[in-house]
Each structure stands twice: as C-alpha cells, then as structure tokens.
Amino acid sequence: MSYRGALIGCGFFAQNHMHAWADLPGARIVAVCDLDPAKAARFGETFGAQPFTDPAAMLAEIQPDFTDIATTVASHRALVELAASHSRAVICQKPYAETYADGAAMVAACQRASVPLLVHENFRWQLPFRRLKAELDSGIVGRPTFLRLAFRHAFDIYAGQPYLAEVQDLALSDVGLHLFDVARFLCGDVVRITCETRRLNPRVKGEDSFVALLRHADGATSSVECSFFSPVAPDPFPQTLAWLECTDGIMEVDTGYRLRIHRDGQVTESSVEPDVPAWGEKPWHGVQDSVRAFQAHVVAVLDGEAEPQPSGAHNLETLALALAAAKSARSGETQAIARPPSTSEGVSR
C-alpha cells in the first residue's frame, strides 16, 4: 500500500524530507504548502506535488494519509491541531513546541482524533545511535552507567537558516532537544538536570553553547555538550560523538563514524557510517540517512507494525527537559523533572 502525504513548510531542511519520501516505496507526497508561493511552486515542480499556500485548503482538498509539518516552532500548535482532523498520522518537526502548554495541547488534539503524533527527532535515528541501542538491547555490554554526548563544531549553520542567529536559547532549542532525546533513548528517563549556557559567537543574539548534567531514573548520569562556536579541524559537523559506559563494557562513537566496543580487555572497531543517499552529499549524509530511517518508521506506524518513536507524548518530556535546562541556566540551580513545568514557560525567553 502507498500512503498519500502532504508537506507543510518548503524551507531549507524540508528538502531532505521530500527526497527521503521519494525514496520510500510505501509513501509519496502529493501536495506541498508554503506561505511563500514561489517556494511552494518550486517544491511542487521539483517533486511532482500539487502546490498550495493555504494549509487548511490543502488538507481539506487532499485529505492525506499523513501530514508532515516542517515549519518553524511558532506555527506548530495550530498546524498540528488542523492536521489532526484531516490525517491518519501527523508528523511535527522539532522544536516540537514553544511551551509545555502548546505541546500538551497538540498531544491532546491527536489523542481526541485517535491519530498518532510523531516528532521528527532524527538524531536517535542516526545509524551510530541505532547501533548503540541495538548493542544495549542485546545485553552484551550490560546496563548504562554513564553517557557523554558532544556536539561541538564551528560550521556556519546560519547560512542556510539565518533566523537561527536571532533565537535566544539557540543551542538548547536547536540541538539540545535532539541530544536530550538521544540521552533518554539510550539511558532512560531523567529525574533532574543542571545546565550552564553561554553566548560564544558575538554575531548571534542567543546562547550558542551549553553543558548539561542529567541524572537518569535508574541512576545513570549523562553529560551533554553542545557548541556552535568550537573551531575544530577537521570539523566533525554534523556528527555527535558519544562515550557510553556500561556495567560490562564501554562503547564509543568517534569522528569518522568509528564505533569501538571495549569488553573483556579487548577493543573491537567497526564503521557506522551510512551510505550517501543518491540525492545526498557529505557531510550531511548522516543526517539525510536518519531522515530516511525515521520516515520508513512512519510508514511502519501507518502499517500498524510499530509504535511511534518518539511520540508526541514522549517528546513532551524531552521538551520538559529543555525547559528545565533553560531554567537551571537562568537560576544556577538544579531542576527536578518529577512534574511538568509551568505551562506558560518556553525554551526561548
């Protein structure tokens, strides 16, 4: 069966969405929408989809099996609530929501419509992290005790997405959510967090780096780092490096997609570098492959063969982590994650 989809938002990253959907035999995008008529027309012509500038009109006419929302965060709540009444599944790009209240409302809207809500958290779908999770699930290295995630580079992310230079909590809202989701994916839920943020690049308005310490429910700890102003040669962008200590071994993901497993006094090394998609290019191939993997998972959800990873409800707690991290950075105090934050709080302040 081939599912008919609609995409809302024809911006920089949405090109990866469209190419990946075109790769999948089980789904196709039949309509695209953007407030900018030229962008919608360009996407429509390039990918053979009907262009629209009004999402309500598009969804009412097309009635797609799934709606892929790839817009900026301020529009997410209204679009998710709209798509929930016109689709069999809704996908929302991260950052999922500006506030916890918005995120909860989006989850509730899809629950009322009995429609699965998936959040496009593609870091957990990157090949290195899928491999780490598989090794953990096999039991070969035991249970996690410590995790370090490091996303540090000086790549010019503002060239393709200039609005990022205006985001106040840039590092937390752009990549922090991804890293917190990976930490939960590998080590489970978090009970408290401490965070420090800094603005390193004088050309941007917000904090473009952070370091966070997470305590997981089962006792493991995670150190999560992000910097958009760390000049490294060669620049590892867009790789996230990882060090995962477990009760029976250690796993590390190093530059160049090298996976090393330390166990029983020996080290084995293998490559976890994905292939470059026919439509892709280095250094973006790790991200592009993860988009394709996530969207294949969406098809499995539509087929009834998988549960959403991550679902909107699950990602709501990742949003709570980002909100708590921002609060910790402002207050200088550790924040508990035992209960939802104030529904009026947002990541960007």
pLDDT in tens, 68-99: 999 999 999 999 999 999 999 999 999 889 99
Global confidence as pTM:
0.94
Three-class DSSP labels, the chain: CCEEEEEECCCCCHHHHHHHHHHCCCEEEEEEECCCHHHHHHHHHHHCCEEECCHHHHHHHHCCCEEEECCCHHHHHHHHHHHHCCCCEEEEECCCCCEHHHHHHHHHHHHHCCCCEEEECHHHHCHHHHHHHHHHHHCCCCCEEEEEEEEECCCCCCCCCHHHHHCCCHHHHHHHHHHHHHHHHHHCCEEEEEEEEECCCCCCCCCCEEEEEEEECCCCEEEEEEECCCCCCCCCCCCCEEEEEECCEEEEEECCCEEEEEECCEEEEEECCCCCCCCCCCCCHHHHHHHHHHHHHHHHHHCCCCCCCCEHHHHHHHHHHHHHHHHHHHHCCCEECCCCCCCCCECCC
The Cα–Cα gap between 240 and 7 comes to: 28
Check pLDDT > 70 for residue 340. Answer: no
The pLDDT value given to residue 267: 97
Instruction: Give the pLDDT band of residue 162 (cuts 50, 70, 90).
Output: confident
Which segment, 157-166, 168-177, 306-315, 332-341, is predicted with the most confidence on average? Answer: 306-315
The Cα–Cα gap between 130 and 204 comes to: 33
The pLDDT value given to residue 348: 41
CATH 2.40.50.140 fits 3-120, yes or no: no
The Cα–Cα gap between 175 and 242 comes to: 15
* Tens-digit pLDDT profile for residues 228-280: 999 988 899 999 999 999 999 999 999 999 999 999 999 999 999 999 999 99
Residues 6+ apart with CB under 8 A from 215: 190, 191, 192, 193, 221
Q: Which residue has the higher pLDDT, 161 or 263?
A: 263
Class of domain 123-273+311-335: alpha beta
117 — phi, psi (to 5°)? -115, 120
Show me where the domains of the chain are located.
3-120, 123-273+311-335
The pLDDT value given to residue 342: 45
What is the pLDDT averaged over residues 128-138? 98
What is the pLDDT averaged over residues 46-75? 97
The pLDDT value given to residue 338: 61
Check pLDDT > 70 for residue 346. Answer: no
Residues 6+ apart with CB under 8 A from 249: 140, 141, 142, 261, 262, 263, 264
